[in-house]
Amino acid sequence: MSLNKRTERRLYLRFALILAAVCGMLLSEACGVRSDMQDQPRYDAYEKSDFFSDGRSSRDYPEGTVARGHLEDNKAFFTGKIDNPDPNAQAATSTDANGNTVVASFPNAITEFPLPVTKELIDRGEDRYKIYCMVCHGQFGDGDGMVVRRGFPQPPTYHDDRLRNAPVGHFFDVITNGWGKMNPYGYQVQAADRWAIVAYIRALQLSRNPDSNLKMTSTANSNTAAPVPAKPETPAANAATNRGGTR
Amino acid sequence: MAQIFRKSANNIAKISMVTVVLLAGVGFYAWTQLARSSYLTGQYLEIQQPVQFSHKHHVADDGIDCRYCHQTVETTASAGMPSTQTCMNCHSQLWADAPYLEPIRASFRDNKPIQWNRVHDLPKYVYFNHSIHIAKGVGCSTCHGPVDKMPLVYEENTLQMEWCIQCHREPEKFIRPKSEVFNMAYRPEDTDQETRDQLKVDYKIRSREMLTSCSTCHR
């Protein structure tokens, strides 16, 4: 009898404890209490850091760091320039219809693609062109993109003799380092994608002048793969070359 | 000695027993609704930002692709927040003197990041990855809603697990052709069910068991 009673009391106690726990959980949930699991002591991409004085959890690389796959020893592929560029080479300039000074010769720029030009490359280039270039240069390269219509200084068209005769390395260099009012896009677009865009620009030029002697020649054997395939750019890699952008 | 309780007390006891059960039920239901309400999930609540950047203007009016700014969305877990330099690609020329954009210029001058307020804040025990969703044909607007119509961005969906899991159970109801992933004008009815079933096969989307396995999202 007494044993039964003790068991009974223990049961009641257990029930009361469970009830209290459930009520507590419901209450804390309803109040929006967040637990440690939700806010763990690690950083998400772009998260604010209280540890570093500039408040960024995405840190710059220490100077001289070379990330795997970023040795960039293929000069032609990563700069669009010839192997031993002449630092004293001066580009010839001329004046265009709007009175702007434009270059007419392109010393040191490579004239052939350093990777095989395939349909895939041009398709990729079209895709990337429509993301990064079309806003200013327009769908067909006439320099009449939406941002230009909003008042951005108009870039030159691709469809004149000067740029038709420009070597591919020049386009690559301009995308990478910017030109005039155009900011550098090297940090936004990977090198392989920049070459894809150059290939697409050539295709656009050819589309208007199929009879011209423009050629999409490549120094790379089409049997060998491109030197470096498009590699994902990590937020950390981004931070190394960028200004701003935490959180 | 008289009885403490009258006979009618039996009825009161019975009624109160039923009432307690009913109240508990109503209370539980109210709690489930409260937990799903935008008051607790933040759904549909516009988040104020240090610069009132309008996706509606930049996407719908100017036709700028999502990836112009969110560059890493196809390749990494994070979609990528644009550096201030990306803003300056245009705003070094356009509205270059506007007081409205002074925080951008200050950030660029001083090399100090703009502290945007996070709109979609997942708990840390969820390991979400943008790139895999893009690669399997989940459109931007499937989760983020009509961003091209949002002057200030808000959460279109609750980001609660029940919301995630409905697509992980039946991805064939939500996916679209990869070519349409970044198309903000795309509507689900643009692709019929048969095509979507085929897409699930073509894109090698894993089984329901795999997609709803705990460790797919929680590690």
Burial class (CB in 10 A: 0-12, 13-18, 19+), B12: exposed
* Residues contacting A220, CB < 8 A, separation 6+: A113, A114, A115, A116, A226, A227
- Nearest by CB to residue A135, choosing from B68, B75, B125, is B68
Cβ-defined contact of B77 to A152 (cutoff 8 Å): no
pLDDT at B192 over 90: yes
| Inter-chain touch B118–A232, beta carbons under 8 Å | no
Query: Between B67 and A22, where is the model more confident?
Result: B67
pLDDT band at B29 (very low <50, low <70, confident <90, very high): very high
A7 burial via Cβ count (<10 Å: 0-12, 13-18, 19+): exposed
Tell me, what's the pLDDT at A209?
87
Q: Which two tokens stand for residue B12?
A: 């009161």
Residue contact B72–A238, C-beta within 8 A: yes
Are the beta carbons of B125 and A135 separated by less than 8 Å? no
pLDDT tens digit sequence for A177-192: 998 899 999 989 999 9
- The pLDDT assigned to A102 comes to 77
pLDDT tens for B122-134 read 999 999 999 999 9
Q: In the beta sheet, which residues pair with residue A48? A: A56
Closest chain A CA to residue B107: A244
Buried b (16+ CB within 10 A) or exposed e, B172-208: bebbbbbebbbbbebeeeebeeeebeebbeeeebeee
Asked if B51 is an interface residue toward chain A (Cβ–Cβ < 8 A), one would say: no
Neighbours of B15 (CB within 10 A): 10
Q: How far is CA A168 from the centre of its chain?
A: 20
Q: Which residues of A touch B76 (CB under 8 A)?
A: 45, 232-235
Query: Count of CB contacts below 8 A, A vs B?
Result: 121
Confirm or reject contact between A56 and chain B (CB < 8 A): yes
Task: Pick A95 or B60 by higher pLDDT.
Answer: B60
Cα within 13 Å of Cα(B109), Cβ side: 6
Average pLDDT over residues A217-226: 62
Are B35 and A30 within 8 A, CB to CB? Answer: yes
pLDDT at A2 over 70: no
CA distance A18 to B113: 49
Q: Are B96 and B102 in contact (CB under 8 A)?
A: no
Is residue A197 within 8 Å of residue A219, measured between CB atoms?
no
The beta strands (E) that lie in chain A are given as 93-95, 101-103
pLDDT at residue A237 in the model: 40
**Chain B residues inside the 8 Å CB shell of A25:** none
Q: A191: distance to nearest CA of chain B, Å?
A: 14
Residue A148 has a pLDDT of 95
Among A243, A246, A247, the residue to mutate for chain B (most B Cβ within 10 A): A243
Average pLDDT over residues B34-58: 92
CB within 8 Å: A243 and B107: yes
- How far is it, in rounded angstroms, from Cα B95 to Cα B90? 9
Instruction: Collect all residues of chain A within an 8 Å Cβ-Cβ radius of residue B23.
Output: none
